[in-house]
Amino acid sequence: MKLSSKEDVDAPITEVFEAISDFASFERSAIRRGIEVQRLGDQTTPELGLTWDVRVNFRGKARRMQLQLSDYDPVTLIGLSGESDGLKGDSQIELLALSPRRTRIAVSVDVKPKTLSGRLILQSFKLARSKIDKRFKLRVAEFAKLTEDRLKSSA
């Protein structure tokens, strides 16, 4: 199952990349939302292989997954690979400079089943595809707006 969305931000590409590569901020945000996040290893700077152990309650059950920084190209690309008991997936956040003061954020997620239970979960997602697409696009738009507001307030 693939999801993708694009949003524009009124800020230079270097500032946007700096904001979206602040992994400590995302860890704190996830913890505030009730998601258990633990960074594995002592890497403080983003580099390939940076890994997180994540536990979240989904559909009434605690689900564990491991996320790994799989692509990291400063200023243009962040890629994450994730794996849980039944699913595996990849996501990418790509940045494109539209002008010196405007940046496009393109977010894509591709999830595939590993087991029969993973297939069942994805099948239920496919039945609600339009609702999930709308929710995903809304989340990306909120993320872009929050990033833009954060950059404007720090300027």
pLDDT in tens, 39-67: 887 666 777 878 889 998 877 778 899 99
The Cβ of residue 93 has, within 10 Å, a number of other Cβ atoms equal to 21
Residue 102's pLDDT is 93
Give residue 29's pLDDT band: very low, low, confident or very high (50, 70, 90): confident
Average pLDDT over residues 138-148: 90
CATH no., domain 2-154:
3.30.530.20
Tally the C-alpha atoms within 13 A of residue 150's C-alpha that lie toward its C-beta. 14
Give residue 125's pLDDT band: very low, low, confident or very high (50, 70, 90): confident
Q: Please, are residues 145 and 129 in contact by the beta-carbon 8 Å criterion?
A: no
- Single out the residue of 13, 28, 27, 77 nearest to residue 48, CA to CA: 77
Residue ranges of alpha helices (H) inside the chain are 13-20, 23-32, 116-127, 129-154
Write phi, then psi, for 142 (nearest 5 degrees). Answer: -65, -45
Dig out the tokens for 50 from the structure.
């940076």
Write phi, then psi, for 51 (nearest 5 degrees). Answer: -130, 145
Residue 43's pLDDT is 67
- Single out the residue of 127, 111, 91, 126 nearest to residue 5, CA to CA: 91
Residue 100's pLDDT is 92
